[in-house]
Structure 1
Amino acid sequence: MDAIRHALSITGAMTWQITWALILGFALSAVVQAVVRRSTVVRLLGDHRPRTLVVASALGAASSSCSYAAVALARSLFRRGADFTAAMAFEIASTNLVIELGVILALLLGWQFTAAEFVGGPIMIAALALLFRFFLRDRLVRAAREQADRGLTGSMEGHAAMDMSAPGQGSFARRLFSPTGYTATAHVFVMEWAAIIRDLVVGLLIAGAIAAWVPDSFWHGFFFAGHPLASKIWGPLIGPLVAMVSFVCSIGNVPLAVVLWQGGISFGGVIAFIFADLLILPILNIYRKYYGTRMAVFLLVSSYLAMVVAGYLVELLFGGLGLIPDQRDARIPMAGISWDYTSWLNLVFLLLAAALLVRFLRTGGPAMLRMMSAAPQAGHDEQHDHTARHEGRHPRDPGA
């Protein structure tokens, strides 16, 4: 019981440390999704030119941070006409270039890891685009599109089918601060939390258990911590593999990254581990359902290589600039609640979350939540959205 309490106390300390950052990140993401229509995203992702991939990455960074939702959304964009490479760039950015991930990395690991995320993410996307250019054949893409159109579903399929952007014309601010804009923001905010909460809780519990129960000596040996060169070579290779078998994706793998960093994995290994949230075994199975076995294997190999390349280049760049922090300074949060800036920020952002939750509950949100994980009925969602906008109300807000 003492061991369990110790693990739970670490989990609680980490949770308290990152609560305000999560709320801030999801709120900013909800604001963007509330005013950017899905049809606009599809129109901008029609090819795989460098400029298009930059746009795809920017739109992804402003979108969902749930790995399952990102995978389902990328498939939805692909089915509606987006280029496959651009859809994959959007998917990667949706989980690895989001604001909340950067803030949490800074809080738990240091600003250097946040900088590495935003440097390594574009490197990974560029590496993946090059691999696609040289090795991805048109016939494989055609087969993947045929498989995607068969309607086999994975997690968060209903969530991906919902376009909850606010209707109407006018400036960004005018649409955002309108009643329908407020409703759309609240709906996206709550549903993003619903999509990520399972992985976040599991990740925090796993990190707390490993930090409390696995001795540092095991990790030091596993990551060759006493051999600097071997550690730098081994880290980016093993990091994605550890992520694959951890079953924890998106923001939920950051607490575990803290444990691995303290245990001796290299700087580049941490970055490769964080980027591998889209290669966990359940998501690989979803790739198989969405695009077929051959494309799933292709995505596994190409994504793994891109993550390894990003990890190595980040290690070389940040090491050459002297920006890699000392692992001896790594600390896993273990302190309880105290009245410092973290507590005040948590209180402020919890009030914001409460206001958005109340709006969600008062505007038909629970019914949407029940639909979120279900497969959408063919044509129903698109028709419902079109009719709602024609009538001048938010598509998921019957009383607006």
Structure 2
Amino acid sequence: MRVVHAVVDALVTSGTMAWQIAWSLVLGFTLSAVVQALVRRETVSRLLGDDRPATLAKATGLGAASSSCSYAAVALARSLFRKGASFTAAMVFEIASTNLVLELGIILVLLLGWPFALAEFVGGPIIIVLVALAFRVVVRRRIVDAAREQAQKGIAGTMEGHASMDMSIDADGGLLSRLFSRAGYTSVSHIFVMEWAAVLRDIVIGLLVAGAVATWVPDSFWQTLFLTDQPTLSKLWGPIVGPVISVLSFVCSVGNVPLAAVLWNSGLSFGGVVAFLYADLIIIPILLIYRKYYGTRMMFVLLGVFYTSMVIAGYAVEVLFGLTGLVPEHGGAEVGESGISWNYTTWLNLAFGVLAFALVSRFFATGGKKMLAMMGGAPGEETS
């Protein structure tokens, strides 16, 4: 019975966190779908042909308006690279599309508070600058050429099949008239559902892991690991260990926010939590995808450059927010203790639930089932 109670407690915690963020996920994916419906991917590829600062700024903006699914972001970056984008611009697009998207910011505010959302959007550009500079020094032309040769091999994998689907609106007229046309409604509904299909597994896993960790792992373990009794060392250690936990957790996309909330309540430093959030692009499954897409050598380059940049960005936000007094007190994150009640969250979930139902209904009414079938299989898996 003790085991049953432990499992139930973990599931209740996970379910409460899911209830708290449900409406924000619908809002974020709807806005992302609207943007993607208006911008053709061929246009994106043409804009990202080099690694000049202006080009990387465009890559950042376009990435921030794109998908928040880490697997889809990795696949889309490869697609852009294959279509002529520079490798640096493709990687910048990838970083921005997982760390600077609106839905991530909303969920961070709900579960961790606005300082974490602000830190995410402050640290993201720092990582992008560091990665761009590192690529100029570390990534030689022959490595990029080898990566491009590897990237051109094979047929697009299941996630890249989703990422490469251009469902932007072809109708004439202004942006609003195109968006509110029947074609616009259909395009938004298809992108909305495909984005959910791409990221739902990670969200569920993230919530289950967060619920289990919050319920089962004793505080003493985290306090020892995070050196909470030594504040200075804790701040130095946090950005180093945060990404390592992320790599080993296998949780990415917005699914790692609930676990980040648990880690924050358990004593991980502010910079460590932020670095943990950044590291969804170097979890083990994605590293294996890098190896398949770009070769073993480039995989290790990406691991080293990304990890180092994430650690430095974690230190940067720790210092900046510490100097300005914006680092919140530990223990304020929402990790499911409050339960479900009839409040503003309930009204928002009901309202956005209606929106989600309308979009899903349109998706299936316009041939969406065939598109879902094209995504069958594991993330990043290649087909032949």
Whether 1:260 aligns to 2:274 is no
**3-state SS of paired residue (1:327):** coil
**3-state SS of paired residue (1:95):** helix
Q: Partners in 2 of 1:180 and 1:205 — Cα distance?
A: 37
Match of 2:234 in 1: 231
Identify the match of residue 335 of structure 1 among 327, 334, 338: 338
Provide closer, same or farther for how the CA distance between residues 153 and 34 of structure 1 changes in structure 2, counting only shifts above 3 A: closer
CA contact (8 A) 2:266 2:331 kept: no
Whether 1:368 aligns to 2:366 is no
Match of 2:221 in 1: 218
Q: Partners in 2 of 1:264 and 1:154 — Cα distance?
A: 39
Gaps of 5+ in 2: none
Q: Partners in 2 of 1:152 and 1:299 — Cα distance?
A: 23
Identify the match of residue 134 of structure 1 among 137, 145, 156: 137
CA contact (8 A) 1:71 1:91 kept: yes
Q: Partners in 1 of 2:24 and 2:334 — Cα distance?
A: 19
Q: Displacement, 1:9?
A: 0.6
CA contact (8 A) 2:287 2:303 kept: yes
Matches within 5 A, 1:53-92: 53-92=56-95
Q: Partners in 1 of 2:21 and 2:244 — Cα distance?
A: 26
**3-state SS of paired residue (1:367):** helix
Whether 1:17 aligns to 2:20 is yes
CA contact (8 A) 2:262 2:333 kept: no
**How many residues were matched structurally?**
378
Identify the match of residue 95 of structure 1 among 98, 101, 105: 98
Identify the match of residue 323 of structure 1 among 321, 326, 334: 326
CA contact (8 A) 1:45 1:52 kept: yes
Gaps of 5+ in 1: 379-400
Matches within 5 A, 1:99-178: 99-151=102-154, 154-178=157-181
Q: Partners in 2 of 1:170 and 1:308 — Cα distance?
A: 46
TM-score by length of 1: 0.92
Q: Which residue identity lines up with residue 323 of structure 1 in the other structure? A: L
Q: Partners in 2 of 1:328 and 1:258 — Cα distance?
A: 9
Q: Partners in 1 of 2:383 and 2:173 — Cα distance?
A: 32
Match of 1:382 in 2: none
Q: Partners in 2 of 1:49 and 1:211 — Cα distance?
A: 44
Match of 2:280 in 1: 277
Provide closer, same or farther for how the CA distance between residues 373 and 278 of structure 1 changes in structure 2, counting only shifts above 3 A: farther
Q: Displacement, 1:335?
A: 2.5
Match of 1:345 in 2: 348
Q: Which moved more, 1:263-272 or 1:168-177?
A: 168-177
Q: Displacement, 1:355?
A: 0.2
Q: Displacement, 1:338?
A: 1.1
Could you list the per-position Cα deviations for residues 322-380 of structure 1 after superposition, in whole angstroms to 9, with x for gaps in the alignment?
000000434422233211000000000000000000000100001011112478999xx
**3-state SS of paired residue (1:329):** coil
Taking every aligned residue pair, what percent have the same amino acid on both sides? 63
Q: Which residue identity lines up with residue 349 of structure 2 in the other structure? A: N
Match of 2:290 in 1: 287
Match of 1:398 in 2: none
**3-state SS of paired residue (1:156):** helix
Whether 1:198 aligns to 2:196 is no
Match of 1:27 in 2: 30
Q: Which residue identity lines up with residue 297 of structure 1 in the other structure? A: F
Match of 1:395 in 2: none
Q: Which residue identity lines up with residue 335 of structure 2 in the other structure? A: I
Q: Partners in 2 of 1:330 and 1:161 — Cα distance?
A: 37
Q: Displacement, 1:161?
A: 2.0
Q: Displacement, 1:175?
A: 1.2
Q: Displacement, 1:170?
A: 2.4
Q: Partners in 2 of 1:310 and 1:8 — Cα distance?
A: 33
Provide closer, same or farther for how the CA distance between residues 137 and 11 of structure 1 changes in structure 2, counting only shifts above 3 A: same
Q: Partners in 1 of 2:8 and 2:112 — Cα distance?
A: 24
Q: Partners in 1 of 2:271 and 2:151 — Cα distance?
A: 34
Q: Displacement, 1:158?
A: 1.1
Match of 1:308 in 2: 311
Provide closer, same or farther for how the CA distance between residues 340 and 228 of structure 1 changes in structure 2, counting only shifts above 3 A: same
Q: Displacement, 1:98?
A: 0.7
Match of 1:387 in 2: none
Could you list the per-position Cα deviations for residues 151-184 of structure 1 after superposition, in whole angstroms to 9, with x for gaps in the alignment?
2654512102211111123221111111111100
Q: Displacement, 1:50?
A: 1.0
**3-state SS of paired residue (2:110):** helix
Provide closer, same or farther for how the CA distance between residues 377 and 3 of structure 1 changes in structure 2, counting only shifts above 3 A: closer
**3-state SS of paired residue (2:227):** coil
Q: Partners in 2 of 1:253 and 1:265 — Cα distance?
A: 15
Q: Partners in 2 of 1:3 and 1:234 — Cα distance?
A: 31
Provide closer, same or farther for how the CA distance between residues 371 and 234 of structure 1 changes in structure 2, counting only shifts above 3 A: same
Q: Displacement, 1:226?
A: 1.3
Q: Which moved more, 1:280-289 or 1:153-162?
A: 153-162
